[in-house]
Amino acid sequence: MTYADQIGAAAFQRLTADFFDHRYQDRGMKKWQGYFLSDHTAALKKQAAAEALLQDQTALPQQSEAEIRRVLAAAFASGQSVIVQLRHLTPEGRLAAPLGGKVAGYTDWDEVGIAGVQVSIADIRHSELVPFPRR
């Protein structure tokens, strides 16, 4: 049996209305402000860094598809990392940030896996090997 059943529905309704109207003080967002603030500032910093990276992009020379395939195959065979610049533009009309990482393999749809992302080879405008670090 609930408390509302014990005192009656109308009395329970009056009691709860009185509580929320006169006794309960909602702290609103004050309770959560610190939690959201740190996450929000971290997201803003990450977004600002990404935008700064995008502003500095210059168009690298357009390579032939044969040259792009040669670089990707060499990276795949040797385990080297590769950096590719895509043809895609951001909504603001800038070049997208370059994609870098190890070549994981190829698909049947003429795509290559780089750092966990599937990219169509036709969408790549420039590719280059990242040299192994010297010891």
- In the numeric block, which tokens belong to residue 3? 């408390």
Over the stretch 18-35, which tens digit does the pLDDT of each residue have? 888 888 877 666 665 556
Look over the chain and give the mean of its residue pLDDT values, rounded to a whole number.
83
User: Which of 5-9, 11-15, 61-65, 67-71 bottoms out in mean pLDDT, i.e. has the lowest?
Assistant: 5-9
Over the stretch 37-58, which tens digit does the pLDDT of each residue have? 777 788 888 888 877 766 667 8
Over the stretch 91-127, which tens digit does the pLDDT of each residue have? 777 787 788 899 998 888 889 999 888 999 999 999 9
Residues of the chain with CATH 2.30.30.100: 65-130
**Distance, CA of 97 to CA of 25 (rounded, Å):** 49
Q: Which CATH architecture has domain 65-130?
A: Roll (2.30)
**Distance, CA of 23 to CA of 58 (rounded, Å):** 62
**Contact predicate 86/126, CB 8 Å:** no
**Contact predicate 98/84, CB 8 Å:** yes
What's the pTM value of the predicted model, to 2 decimals? Answer: 0.58
**Distance, CA of 47 to CA of 107 (rounded, Å):** 32
**Distance, CA of 33 to CA of 23 (rounded, Å):** 23
Measure Cα distances from 102 to 3, 35, 93, 109 in Å.
64, 36, 28, 19
